[in-house]
Amino acid sequence: MKLFRFEQEGKVKLGLATDQGQHLDISASGMSLSENFLAADGLNQLRDWLKDNQNSCPDINTPLHFLSCVERPSKIICVGLNYAKHAQESGMAAPAEPVLFFKSTTALCGPNDPVIIPKGSEKTDWEVELAVIIGKKATYINESDAMDYVAGYCLHNDYSERAFQLERSGQWVKGKSCDSFAPMGPYFVTADEVSDPHNLHLWLDVNGQR
């Protein structure tokens, strides 16, 4: 499934993007893309609901205001220097152990929402990332079981203020957790739709420049 959250007339709604390019309002399901929904096997419940109800779901014919494709999660865990090419362009060696940091949940916003440049910013930067949406609590699991905990994927534009992060204080959170610095979406693509998440072509264009 290719799901999304959107706002219409002040209400938060749930949508489905079909293989035919339609955007359907599936809010009548009463479901959401929250942590509790995912942990309670909500995606399979939604699949069952769509089997009986998809044909009666209305098309969305108004311009879409996409929200973040997940409701505010408990945490956003990020991995620094996770792409070899990014490490190379940064002039940094690939770390022997993953560099982990958090983004504030208040950084979350929709994919087309305005980015708020923080006061005093000198070097606001951007990076396209694949966000992995964890569908249930995962504690001390075996590596071989890890993918069973993945509910789906979405796009994340990882904004950073590099002067805050690296030059002025060396605090990654300070440079990466500003409000609006974690736009996600528009689509929550369920794990069954992505055959190989390790082999995806990601790109980001800024003012027409890739």
Q: Is residue 131 located within the same domain as residue 84?
A: yes
Residues 20 and 43 placed together within one structural domain of the fold:
yes
Asked if 173 contacts 182 with a C-beta cutoff of 8 angstroms, the reply is: no
CATH number at residue 135: 3.90.850.10
What is the pLDDT at residue 93? 80
| Tokens coding 121 | 């910013």
pLDDT of residue 90: 75
The DSSP letter of residue 52 is: H
Instruction: Give yes or no: residues 56 and 87 share one domain.
Output: no
Residue 82 sits in the same domain as residue 53: no
Residue 84: predicted pLDDT: 76
Per-residue model confidence as pLDDT tens digits over 179-205: 999 999 999 999 999 999 999 999 999
User: What token pair was written down for 133?
Assistant: 């949406």
Is the domain of 84 the same as that of 180?
Answer: yes
Specify whether 132 is located in the same domain as 167: yes
Question: What percent of the chain lies above the pLDDT cut of 70?
Answer: 100
Task: Give the Cβ contact number of residue 104 at 10 Å.
Answer: 15
Say if residue 180 is in the same domain as residue 121. yes
| Structural domain that includes position 22 | 2-66
The last residue of one of the domains, among 48, 66, 84, is 66
Checking if the pLDDT of 110 tops 80, the result is: yes
Considering the domain architecture, whether residues 43 and 86 belong to the same structural domain is answered as no
* In a shared domain, residues 92 and 42: no
CA distance 44 to 168: 47
Helix/strand/coil percentages in the chain, nearest 5: 25, 30, 45
Residue 205 lies in a domain: no
Whether the per-residue pLDDT at 87 is higher than 80: the answer is no
Give pLDDT tens digits for 148-165.
999 999 999 999 999 888
Q: Which of 33-37, 56-60, 81-85 has the lowest mean pLDDT?
A: 81-85
Based on the structure, what is the number of domains in the chain? 2
Please, what is the average pLDDT of the chain?
93
What is the model's pLDDT at position 70? Answer: 96
